[in-house]
């Protein structure tokens, strides 16, 4: 049973995806960040950790590649 809401945010390393991830974290949701740029995802994760005290899950993936997308939901549920 999941006892906390989880937001899986694609494109979370910059722009609208980053803003959405930060908003969800401020609202108290656990956040899973996905995107191509590991360094940028790490920066967003640090912002969330500093603001909310919990570290989000980071999944680096090229979302135009279906083979990389397939494992993401299972990884989020596992974590």
pLDDT tens-digit series, residues 30-78:
999 999 999 999 999 999 999 888 899 999 998 888 888 888 988 888 8
CATH architecture assigned to 6-74: 3-Layer(aba) Sandwich (3.40)
Q: Which residue has the tokens 């135009």?
A: 64
Burial of 37 (0-12, 13-18, 19+ CB in 10 A): middle
What are the sequence ranges of the domains in the chain? Answer: 6-74
**Residue 9 is inside which H or E element, if any?**
strand 6-9
Q: 27 vs 12, 23, 56, 64, CA distance in Å?
A: 16, 6, 14, 29
Handedness of CA 59, 65, 67, 72 (dihedral sign): positive
Q: CA–CA separation, 75 vs 78, rounded Å?
A: 5
Q: pTM, whole model, 2 decimals?
A: 0.86
């Amino acid at each position: 049973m999941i006892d906390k809401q989880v937001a899986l945010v694609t494109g979370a390393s910059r722009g609208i995806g980053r803003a959405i991830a930060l908003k969800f974290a401020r609202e108290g949701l656990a956040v899973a960040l996905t995107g191509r740029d590991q360094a940028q995802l790490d920066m967003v994760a640090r912002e969330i950790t500093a603001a909310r005290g919990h570290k989000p899950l980071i999944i680096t993936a090229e979302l135009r590649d279906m083979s990389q997308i397939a494992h993401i939901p299972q990884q989020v549920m596992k974590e």
